[in-house]
A and B are shown apart, each in its own frame.
Chain A
Amino acid sequence: MIEVVNLTKQFGIKRAVDNLSFTVKKGEVLGFLGPNGAGKSTTMRMVTGFIPPTAGEAKICGISIVESPAEAKKRIGYLPESAPLYNDMTVTSFLKFCAEVRGLKGISKKEAVERAIETCFLNSVAQQAIETLSKGYRHRTCLAQALLHDPEVLILDEPTDGLDPNQKYEVRQLIKRLGETKAILFSTHILEEVEAACTRAVIVDRGSIVADGTPAELLAQSGTGSLTDLFRAVTTRDTEAA
């Protein structure tokens, strides 16, 4: 599970994340919504240990990411926003590399890679070079590396970004299925995904939480039964915030 307490990140004079606190338990899927620049990716980067927080704490299964990063990172599967990959490798060799870095060896490594390829529907491109893959397949390869070691926590930054409607559907179903046994935090701009895959959602704006609840509660809060209306009501637009 994920516990975030008063997490803050300051870049010079800009406060990107302002005293954020939330929890995600096992079996929960938390949707992280918000306009661009709200601090979603920065929060995820702090929770996964990529950047250190200015203040506050994040714990993965009770282990602090700041104090025991290696231990905490073992329990996380992370899909970064840009879905980075090593272009000079094939899908399988890349996944084998990630599995090895995570300490998997021999048969367990082979099985983990096969399982991840199956789960993410990469069978047809398993031997292909990554630089030749389409965006959808690249995204799924990066998602596959997050699943290799069967982590208790999944942190996915815009996992359906750039995917076609079929692929979006598959990924949402996958998240829903995995969410039954893991704690998942994923960010999105697509409000219909909240109802499709989340058990709870949080709207973040300019580094702080401005709405929090189950999809039903948020719909009720909007007054019009539309998440878009609620989103527009609680967040500031680019045209206003200057």
Chain B
Amino acid sequence: MFTIFKRELKSYFTQPTAYAIIVIFLLFSMALAFTFGKFIAVGDASLEWSFLFWHPWIYMLLAPAVGMRLWADEQRYGTIELLGTFPISTWKVIIGKYLAGASVWLIALLLTFPIVLTVNYLGSPDNGSILSGYIGSFLVCCTFLAITMLVSAFTRDQVVCLIVSVSICVLMVMGGYDDVTLQLAKIVSPSVLEGITALGVWSHFSSLSRGLFRFQDLVWFTSLISVSLLGTSAILSAKRA
């Protein structure tokens, strides 16, 4: 499994994909924090609303760009036949590839450290809640990545995978968002609204970004990730049978 992880990670960094995404992520997250996030203007020594808030919006578009090649490439170039005949279980290959994609994003997130240093220099923030916010952000990203992986197992075409994954992630981000919920409340019944909100990332992400670590949030993220990865395994087996 570690071998697969190493190979996939190296492959990300020998192609322009990972670099491009990391740079774009850094540019957007910082730009948004200082413009729309009004980081300096508000003067609040917390990264919650100015910086971390924007992450799910960026992830819903960029995370699938990292995940889309995970299975689509293997199927298109035929290397899936090599992987399928190596003495390694499909599950280990899935986990190895998933961890490689997650690592690319971990690196991207870690490279945002300047803003943490800045907020500590300018004020005295609660670093615990910043850490928990970062964890929440990483979990949202990992969830989107897992969903992309599931979609990637369905198709050989990277573009189709990207479009479908982005659509799902957009729904998840819009779904729980306050403004959207308020509009929807006028149209749909309360129970449907609750259902849509439950699938949205906001309730779980915002509590984490405030520094509140709830067990149910962890359960939500890990269940979605596990279901997506298990689904990937099922799709790949079904495709061959």
A residues contacting B by CB (< 8 A) are 45, 48-52, 69-71, 73-74, 76, 78, 80, 82, 84-89, 97-98, 100-103, 145
Q: A73-B86, A73-B87, A101-B86 are in contact. Are A45 and B81 (CB under 8 A)?
A: yes
Going nearest first, the 4 A-B pairs with the smallest beta carbon separation are A84-B78, A73-B87, A50-B84, A100-B3
Contact yes or no, B85 A86, CB < 8 A: no
Contact yes or no, B88 A101, CB < 8 A: yes
Distance in angstroms between the alpha carbons of A205 and B87 in the assembled complex: 31
Q: A51-B240, A52-B241, A100-B3 are in contact. Are A84 and B82 (CB under 8 A)?
A: yes
B86-116 interface mask toward A, CB cutoff 8 Å, 1 = contact, 0 = none?
1111000000000000000000000000000
Contact yes or no, A88 B15, CB < 8 A: yes
Most chain B CB within 10 A, of A45, A73, A88, A101, is at A101
B3's contact among A69, A80, A97, by CB below 8 Å, is which? A97
Distance in angstroms between the alpha carbons of A49 and B87 in the assembled complex: 10
Contact yes or no, A102 B79, CB < 8 A: no
B228 to chain A, nearest CB (A): 23
If over half of B's interface residues share one DSSP class (helix, strand or loop), that class is named, otherwise mixed; here it is helix
B89's contact among A70, A76, A80, A98, by CB below 8 Å, is which? A70
User: Size of chain B's interface in residues, with CB distance under 8 A?
Assistant: 20
Contact yes or no, A80 B86, CB < 8 A: no
A residues within 8 A CB of B81?
A: 45, 50, 80, 82, 84
Q: A82-B81, A86-B11, A88-B11 are in contact. Are A52 and B87 (CB under 8 A)?
A: no
B residues contacting A by CB (< 8 A) are 3-4, 7, 11, 14-15, 77-82, 84-89, 240-241
Contact yes or no, B78 A80, CB < 8 A: yes
Distance in angstroms between the alpha carbons of A76 and B84 in the assembled complex: 12
Extra pairs beyond A51-B240, A74-B87, A84-B81 (17, CB < 8 Å):
A49-B84, A49-B85, A50-B81, A50-B84, A52-B240, A70-B87, A73-B87, A76-B85, A82-B78, A82-B81, A85-B77, A87-B77, A88-B11, A88-B14, A97-B3, A101-B4, A101-B88
A159 to chain B, nearest CB (A): 15
B82 to chain A, nearest CB (A): 6
A residues within 8 A CB of B87?
A: 69-71, 73-74, 101-103
13 contacts between A and B (CB under 8 A): A49-B84, A50-B81, A69-B87, A70-B88, A76-B85, A80-B85, A84-B78, A84-B80, A86-B11, A87-B77, A98-B82, A101-B86, A102-B87
B143 to chain A, nearest CB (A): 27
Distance in angstroms between the alpha carbons of A51 and B14 in the assembled complex: 32
Distance in angstroms between the alpha carbons of A97 and B83 in the assembled complex: 11
Distance in angstroms between the alpha carbons of A70 and B11 in the assembled complex: 26
B residues within 8 A CB of A101?
A: 3-4, 86-88
Measured CB to CB, the nearest residue on chain A to B82 is A84
Measured CB to CB, the nearest residue on chain A to B11 is A88
A residues within 8 A CB of B86?
A: 73, 98, 101-102
B72 to chain A, nearest CB (A): 14
